[in-house]
Amino acid sequence: MNHKRCRLLNQQSFTLIELLVVVAIIAVLVAILLPALSAAREQARRAQCQANLQQLGVLWALYWNDHHDYIPTMAIWWNWGGAEGPAGQFWPLEGVLPLRQRAMYYINDGEHQWATRKEQFICPADNKDGIAWSLSTPTWWHLGTSYANNPWLCRTAGTPEPKIPMTVSAIAEPSRLLFLGDTTIFTTMHYPDWHPFATWHDATGSYGNNILFFDGHVAYVAVLGYGLQQSEMFWY
């Protein structure tokens, strides 16, 4: 009886080799599935980021509809996170700041109340990379947003008095004009020595950022080398 029971148990149990084969198969499946899951998560983050940019674009449109077609401007002197910077340089986030309070007004359907949810201002792929003034502090820490406007579109520095802002009707090719985007796209373009590939949407190594163009469409723009393809888009 005992002999038969042992033989039955041996027939029902796994050998060490069989267990190793099962473990190896599971490891292979995990190795195959993890990149796919990572890519799917990145696609979801990219889609949410693009939706955020479109919402912010609507807010800007509401602004210039209320201000006789004028686009919000940046001054020649600006500050970033409360620290004054040198004149004549244009950091892209400054143009977003004057809209924060007005944006909350529109988000709350005209009620002057601060919204409790601010996801519209945060890119879900923002990896807290340090690209602020000191290159060590995340931009959203000071400014509460991952996004930036086109500084040349909103500039007043270098223009003659009375420094009249640009109007929407003055935009010649809105489908090619960069409007809003992930903050890193601007430092990548204009300051390559700092962060040549400082992008947030780079899970697949493609190195790029989401850009809202002035006509309202959003596109994922890959960064090639040390800058964007100038022939395909304009800063002003």
- Judge whether residue 24 has pLDDT over 70: yes
**What is the pTM assigned to this prediction?**
0.64
pLDDT given for residue 16 in this prediction: 74
pLDDT given for residue 89 in this prediction: 39
Query: Who wins on pLDDT, 7 or 87?
Result: 7
pLDDT given for residue 23 in this prediction: 82
Is residue 106 very low, low, confident or very high in pLDDT (cuts 50, 70, 90)?
Answer: very low
Per-residue three-class SS string for the chain? CHHHHHHHHHHHCCCHHHHHHHHHHHHHHHHHHHHHHHHHHHHHHHHHHHHHHHHHHHHHHHHHHHCCCECCCECCCCEECCEECCCCCCCHHHHHCCHHHHHHHHHCCCCCCCCCCCHHHCCCCCCCCCCCCCCCCCHHHHHCCCEEECCCCCECCCCCCCCCCCEHHHCCCHHHEEEEEECHHHHHHHCCCCCCCCCCECCCCCCEEEEEECCCCEEEEECECCECCHHHCECC
